[in-house]
A and B are shown apart, each in its own frame.
Chain A
């Protein structure tokens, strides 16, 4: 059984089973390939890269689940064509996971498209860097995070949670509650039940990490408080 993140004198530590670390690492890898494909689409404008997308899944037990997670590249051709038609801005990804990971930066669609053209590539690169670092950190047992690594790991874990939540169709608090109930009662007979369990597990991990991190944030009024500002 996994033991939650807690603050120690040598960073935040969590004892995770080897298969748990492997699972989270695989999920990070799936989000990485999703983001990389989006980058390739934009630079190449070609849809060929979608063809090999199932091959990485292999024959492990998560293959079906991971294929589902990867979203099968829905709407690649359409969005590439749309981008060519309007070079001034960049349209939002049609894949709901990508749309959630790379959201619109303004409510006005035209302004959002222009902002996306300016910022999406760097946002994608930041997320890719976080996810790759998280995979590296998951190689160690127990998982140990320094103050600098903890937010990076947290962001990557959150992107995994956002991906799972989008695939599970969580749109409001009631959906989220239902998924948590499904995770608590089932024996994971279906892909959805398995995804729900993984979502609940990563949520728990995230909660323990950030509860520990919040406790170590200096209170305001402390002299050291201002030194921490803008540390990101």
Chain B
């Protein structure tokens, strides 16, 4: 195994470098950001935060108000793959969400 990999190392140096950087990026924590919009109802957003992320009633309410007043809020933080899934889930609920490095 190691010798086979060793032989490709010199030829595909940059590829492995990219892969390694990709792996390191995947380890770094990412934020799930939800953005304010005038259509999604407060009750709906609060329900999504509670049922999907399992946030407490108080935390869901606080985050919902943060989105409303500040225009955005970080609703979850985790590995990139998890953050991507969360962002897609938010889009499925019709919320505006993006991921960013924490």
Contacts and interface: CB of A to CB of B under 8 A. Distances in A.
Interface stretch (B3-11, B12-20, B49-57): B49-57
B87 to A, nearest CB: 5
A213 B56 contact: no
Interface stretch (A18-26, A43-51, A214-222): A214-222
Interface string A175-212: 11000000000000000000000000001001100110
Interface residues of A, number: 46
B44 A206 contact: yes
A115 B84 contact: yes
A107 to B, nearest CB: 6
Nearest to B50: A217
A103 B43 contact: no
A223 B4 CA distance: 54
Contacts, number: 92
A155 B92 contact: yes
Interface in B15-72: 38-41, 43-44, 46-47, 50-52, 54, 56-58
A119 B41 contact: no
Contacts of A104: 98
A105 B41 contact: no
B91 A102 contact: yes
A76 interface: no
Interface of B: 38-41, 43-44, 46-47, 50-52, 54, 56-58, 84, 87-89, 91-94, 96-100
Given A207-B41, A232-B52, 11 more contacts: A105-B84, A105-B99, A154-B44, A158-B44, A165-B39, A203-B41, A210-B43, A210-B44, A219-B57, A226-B54, A230-B52
9 contacts: A105-B84, A105-B97, A115-B87, A130-B92, A165-B38, A171-B38, A207-B44, A217-B47, A231-B51
